[in-house]
Amino acid sequence: MTRLVIATRRSRLALWQAEHVKSRLAALGHAVELLPMSTRGDELIDRRLDQAGGKGLFVKELENAMSDGRAHLAVHSMKDVPAELPPGFVLAAITAREDPRDAFLSNTFKSVSELPGGATIGTSSLRRQAQIVERHPALEVKLLRGNVETRLAKLDRGEYDAIVLAAAGLTRLGLEGRITAHLGADEMLPAPGQGALGIECRSGDSEVVALLTMLADPATSACVRAERAVSRALGGSCTLPLAAYAVRVQGNQLRLRALVASADGKRVLRQHAEGAAMEPEALGNRVAEDLRRQGAAEILGL
């Protein structure tokens, strides 16, 4: 193709992600332009996403740009992509994963366990909220929305004692020095797809699909597909306090861990299993079914 257009959100992180994919496509000999756009998810910063309409708020305008021919592809943080794409669209590639962990940031305290009772910790994620409250019920979890820079500014103004952000976004922006502590999967199980980038395009645009497939990382793709299968089987919405994280283990096996919780952290269900990397959706569906047997449907209101 002589010219490709990438639809992207305007935030500095989204632009970094789009530029990253642009550079990889340029290395293959393609001319690439960016089409920066504002999405409803960027504009609604006073409510949690589950109250405003879900993950699709970050991708709908980008999909519209692809539908009407203004763009050929869009780059997303995989944790922001709904489990089900609209008809006519496909995730043509999932690229190699950055650090999937969450990060604890504070100008005063060194870890979540150091926060005193009544301290405020900011997040917009029900998944993070549930896991924090389960372990630290005396903390006050407050809504934190906005781009990375906005969230850091709120921390620096003293509006929060601490905040939790994805480590990958901070690393990509050169802000890893702001990380006070990384939260391992045992302490904070990540969101499905966290740390990975997905490249979406129209499913009928075979030339673009074939080109983008060259950017995919097979190991990351298998892990993320397993994680997203859990989300899809349990409703596929950011209204769910749900976590899922898969890693490649010996041979062609994946180990998948998943969690479903009530928002108040009083009920937390966990499940893990191993399965073939060649059948990641089957593994994710099996873990989701095990969670249903434990009572996930009751917690999630399914």
Summarize pLDDT for 127-153 with one digit per residue, the tens: 999 999 999 999 999 999 899 999 999
What pLDDT was estimated at residue 251? Answer: 81
Q: Which CATH number fits domain 3-97+196-216: 1.10.10.10, 3.80.10.10, 3.90.45.10, 3.40.190.10?
A: 3.40.190.10
Average pLDDT over residues 105-123: 97
What pLDDT was estimated at residue 41? Answer: 52
Percent of the chain exceeding pLDDT 90 equals 82
The mean-pLDDT minimum among 3-7, 37-41, 175-179 falls in 37-41
What pLDDT was estimated at residue 149? Answer: 94
What pLDDT was estimated at residue 40? Answer: 60
Domain 229-292 is of which CATH architecture?
A: 2-Layer Sandwich (3.30)
| pTM (2 d.p.) | 0.91
State the Cα–Cα distance between residues 63 and 93, nearest whole angstrom. 16
What pLDDT was estimated at residue 53? Answer: 45
pLDDT digit string, tens, across residues 215-247: 999 999 999 999 999 999 998 655 678 999 999
Average pLDDT over residues 12-36: 96
CATH 3.40.190.10 in the chain, residue ranges: 3-97+196-216, 102-183
**What count of residues does the chain have?**
302
As beta bridge partners, residue 235 has none
Tell whether the model's pLDDT for residue 300 goes beyond 90. no
State the Cα–Cα distance between residues 297 and 300, nearest whole angstrom. 5
Residues with active-site annotation: 80
CATH 3.30.160.40 in the chain, residue ranges: 229-292
**CATH 3.40.190.10 for the 102-183 domain, yes or no:** yes
State the Cα–Cα distance between residues 21 and 19, nearest whole angstrom. 5
State the Cα–Cα distance between residues 143 and 125, nearest whole angstrom. 8
- Name which of 204, 228, 244 is nearest 90 in CA terms: 204
